[in-house]
Amino acid sequence: MADHEDPKTGKKNKGTSKEVCGYPLSIFFIVVNEFCERFSYYGMRAVLVLYFKYFLRWDDDLATSIYHTFVALCYLTPILGAIVADSWLGKFKTIIYLSIVYAIGQVAMAVSAIHDITDTDRDGTPNNMTFHVVLSMVGLFLIALGTGGIKPCVAAFGGDQFGDHQERQRRTFFSVFYLCINGGSLLSTIITPILRAQNCGIYSKQKCYSLAFGVPAALMVVALVVFIVGSGMYYKAKPEGNIMGDVCKCIGFAISNRYKHRSKQYPSREHWMDWAEDKYDKLLIAQIKMVLKVLFLYIPLPMFWTLFDQKGSRWTLQATTMDGNFGAIVIQPDQMQTVNPILILTLVPIMDSVIYPLIKKCGLNFTPLKRMTVGMFLAALAFVCAAVVQIEIDVSRKHLTYFNLTQFVNGMNKPVNVSTSEVVFGQIEKFHYSNYSQIRNGRATFFLQSGQLSCAFSRDFGFGSSYTFFIPSTLSLGSNCQESITGAEDIKPNSVHMALQVPQYFFITAGEVMFSVTGLEFSYSQAPSNMKAVLQAGWLLTVAIGNFIVLIVAEVAKLPKQWTEYVLFASLLLCVCIIFSIMAYFYTYIDPTEIEAKFRRNVGDDDDDKNDKQRKLEMEMMKRDLDRSDDEHYKGKQTKM
């Protein structure tokens, strides 16, 4: 579809999509697609660490490492997606193809979690674990490729649907887009843990990870279908060329040219990028300088994500050792992650409409970089809270599971069958005991059957408790099992309540609002018009590096106590926060549009009768605007930190 120019205003109106209340109808499909895709991603991610631990039977460290490797991959692939979209397929086709890859990955995960496939002896546990591990790793790789690849395309594709006369609507679209991300995440982190906690299976009942992965897979198919249905209405911009490649080539040329002219006989240039002037356009060089300034500022940022993304790993594992009984409802450990999107949906409007205006009213200039610094500080504080909670847990208990384990000792002179509505203990021979089996939290009823004898008894189970029940030799037809069967508490239930995790979730989410939401906006505002995607990819790369840092620190430090690891992460972020605040102090905000316009105007002046000397002088002045942070020319517009 071509751009249509409004004859009165001369502004571009993209596409022929119908408008509803001033919005192109096509964005409805993009917003629904994002909601379903984020549901799919966060739903799968919510139960992932528990799948590793309880289905694949990995230990906490391996589960955490693979979890963060996966998240890191998800944020490395946006670069790939951006390159493919910009230089080859265009955003529309890239989204379609990579969404198919993504959906296949989700289906592979769901299949990998069906224990019956390899449960040849039908005892409820897979017999060929290699099959499940390999299939789930292939699935995760495809998901990372898909979700990361489409990440830089979908939001930008949505932005493309608006014409120049729809600036206000485009801004609203981005807000709604962010709400959809968190709406999808909120719903899925409530639903998938509930599905996981169900028992399912053909031959034997086990926790239903296949359903918990299957529903996100279905949602990804829905996301793809919705996106395709909107196909006829989209404005599809042609690929603009590989801007990331051009940037790399230009930087490479500047470095090699500088090296070639290293001898003192060549006059030095104001900025090392100026060495690219012999071959590249001055505007491109100026734009790269703007990008490099921001990228330099990104160096400390990965540390924030190192802490932030541990919500899904260490914090979820921490919740498995806590009591999730909230009276009317019982919260699953992985459902605690729901607190994040709930707080996001409440905090973003509060910050925007109350806190920030209030700070402004007090005469304080709370600039984006100051907000990001405070965000980092809050994340460090969240980890101090996590450490305190961990100490509390360590003091109160000595085991590390949230399941209730139960075993029976048969004191009778004949075999007995024991079962609940969900778990079969099987036949226990005379004077023998059963294996431990997992029982749901809350009240469970056990059915005993031995020849003519048939009775039932019920008990309440707290999170993480373990019991041994004794079936007395005196049990006979007509006995009251509720009274006759006695139980010994091997391990006390978890006593530290999951509600204690709320403060750490509050601080990390308040940190996210200040850091992530502001950082995205900052990256967009400081990027030259044609390099916004480059900076977005750079921003997402900080998330990937942050997740690799979790692996490195956890591996190198190998701290025996979990709380000490939390304190270590908090201290590291605090140090990084101080370094970032110093770097931010020396950063000068720029207006890329204004700088670009000046360069363009100057090129236009070529046709005028301006003499070369004058033009050169102006060019030099603009370069200085970029190179020197204390430049007088922009002082009115620019603010420090």
Ligand X SMILES: C[C@H](N)C(=O)N[C@@H](CCCCN)C(=O)O
Report DSSP letters for 133-200, one per residue. HHHHHHHHHHHHHHHHHHHHHHHHHHHHTS-GGGHHHHHHHHHHHHHHHHHHHHHHHHHHHHHHHSEE
Which range touches ligand X (CB under 6 A), out of 9-17, 48-56, 179-187, 487-495? 179-187
Retrieve residue 429's tokens.
Answer: 């021979």
* 405-434 residues near ligand X, rule: CB under 6 A: none
Alpha carbons within 13 angstroms on the beta-carbon side of residue 111 total 13
Cα 445 to the chain's mean position, in Å? 40
Which range touches ligand X (CB under 6 A), out of 132-140, 177-185, 295-303, 329-337? 177-185
Nearer to ligand X, 85 or 284 (CB): 85
d(CA 473, CA 370): 73
Minimum distance between the CB of residue 172 and ligand X, rounded to whole angstroms? 17
Nearer to ligand X, 207 or 371 (CB): 371
Minimum distance between the CB of residue 308 and ligand X, rounded to whole angstroms? 6
85, 140, 290, 344: residue in contact with ligand X (rule CB under 6 A): 344
Residue 189 sits in the site that holds ligand X (CB under 6 A): no
Among 352, 323, 320, CA closest to 334 = 320
State the number of binding residues for ligand X (CB under 6 A).
Answer: 11
Decide: residue 630, CB within 10 A, 0-12 exposed, 13-18 middle, 19+ buried. Answer: exposed
Among 515, 416, 525, CA closest to 471 = 416
Nearer to ligand X, 35 or 58 (CB): 35
Residue 185 sits in the site that holds ligand X (CB under 6 A): yes
Minimum distance between the CB of residue 635 and ligand X, rounded to whole angstroms? 34
Minimum distance between the CB of residue 185 and ligand X, rounded to whole angstroms? 4
d(CA 382, CA 380): 5
Minimum distance between the CB of residue 378 and ligand X, rounded to whole angstroms? 14
Nearer to ligand X, 181 or 531 (CB): 181
Residue 316's CB is within 10 A of a number of other CB atoms, namely 28
Minimum distance between the CB of residue 569 and ligand X, rounded to whole angstroms? 16
* 300-319 residues near ligand X, rule: CB under 6 A: 309
Nearer to ligand X, 309 or 565 (CB): 309
Residue 240's CB is within 10 A of a number of other CB atoms, namely 12
* 530-549 residues near ligand X, rule: CB under 6 A: 543
d(CA 495, CA 506): 22
| Pair 87, 242: CB distance under 8 Å | yes
Minimum distance between the CB of residue 509 and ligand X, rounded to whole angstroms? 7
Residue 73 sits in the site that holds ligand X (CB under 6 A): no
Nearer to ligand X, 181 or 380 (CB): 181
Residue 341 sits in the site that holds ligand X (CB under 6 A): yes
d(CA 64, CA 53): 9
Minimum distance between the CB of residue 390 and ligand X, rounded to whole angstroms? 23
Please, what sign has the CA dihedral across residues 349, 350, 351, 357?
positive
Query: Residue 484: helix, strand or coil by DSSP?
Result: helix
Nearer to ligand X, 144 or 428 (CB): 144
Nearer to ligand X, 224 or 543 (CB): 543
User: What's the per-residue H, E or C state across 16-59?
Assistant: CCCEECCEECHHHHHHHHHHHHHHHHHHHHHHHHHHHHHHCCCC
* 555-594 residues near ligand X, rule: CB under 6 A: none
| Pair 99, 224: CB distance under 8 Å | yes
Q: Quick one: which H or E segment has residue 373? A: helix 368-396
Residue 182 sits in the site that holds ligand X (CB under 6 A): yes
With CB atoms as reference, the residue minimizing the distance to ligand X is 185
d(CA 241, CA 545): 27
Which range touches ligand X (CB under 6 A), out of 9-17, 326-334, 337-345, 481-489? 337-345
Residue 516 sits in the site that holds ligand X (CB under 6 A): yes
Minimum distance between the CB of residue 516 and ligand X, rounded to whole angstroms? 6
Which range touches ligand X (CB under 6 A), out of 165-173, 181-189, 389-397, 476-484? 181-189
Q: What are phi and psi of 23, to 5 degrees?
A: -105, 140
Nearer to ligand X, 38 or 314 (CB): 38
Residue 337 sits in the site that holds ligand X (CB under 6 A): no
Nearer to ligand X, 496 or 533 (CB): 533
Nearer to ligand X, 37 or 119 (CB): 37
d(CA 560, CA 189): 30
Nearer to ligand X, 145 or 485 (CB): 145
Nearer to ligand X, 313 or 410 (CB): 313
Minimum distance between the CB of residue 336 and ligand X, rounded to whole angstroms? 14
Minimum distance between the CB of residue 341 and ligand X, rounded to whole angstroms? 5
Q: Quick one: which H or E segment has residue 405? A: strand 404-410
Write the single-letter amino acid at 154: V
Residue 181 sits in the site that holds ligand X (CB under 6 A): yes
Q: Interface residues with ligand X (CB under 6 A)?
A: 38, 181-182, 185, 309, 340-341, 344, 512, 516, 543
